[in-house]
Amino acid sequence: MTTNKQLRLVLVTPETTLLDEPVEALRFPLYDGQIGILPGRAPLVGRLGYGELQITTAGGTKTYFVDGGFVQVKGNVVSMLTNRAQPARLLDANQAENELQAAQHLAARNDAELDRKFKELERARRKLALARKAH
């Protein structure tokens, strides 16, 4: 176990590395619930869910919406690979509401389509909740 008082967050999307900076703590969604990470955390590999990534630094707190992916905690480095990460302050509640309505109207004629519909509903609900919280 590491005894460093800081973690290093590396947040990567398919397009770019959004963040590579020291952080004091993290809180984010896994596919089956929330998790918080502090320095000294045991190694972990997990599947990210949809929702709020809260980053605590010496300068304050930053919040992002993460759209699934994977996370690895190894030593003092937390690597997050996600499809999309958007600062919460840039989320548009109207757009998120439209995404929720579109997900509600998705047809589900088989198990795969039903699974897709549930995922899109969950994603849209969490995005809308964070957009409303951020504004």
Whether 3 shows a pLDDT value over 70: the answer reads no
DSSP readout, 43-91? PEEEEEEEEEEEEEETTEEEEEEEEEEEEEEETTEEEEE-S-EEEGGG-
Q: What is the pLDDT of residues 94-131, one digit of tens each?
A: 999 999 999 999 999 999 999 999 999 999 999 999 99
| Structural domain spans, the chain | 7-88, 92-134
d(CA 133, CA 135): 6
**How sure is the predictor about 52, in pLDDT bands with cuts at 50, 70 and 90?**
very high
The superfamily (CATH) of domain 7-88 is F0F1 ATP synthase delta/epsilon subunit, N-terminal (2.60.15.10)
Across the range 22-41, mean pLDDT stands at 95
pLDDT at 135: 77
Tokens of 52: 């709020």
Nearest residue to 34 (alpha-carbon basis) of 25, 22, 26, 42: 26
pLDDT at 6: 86
- DSSP assigned state of 42: P
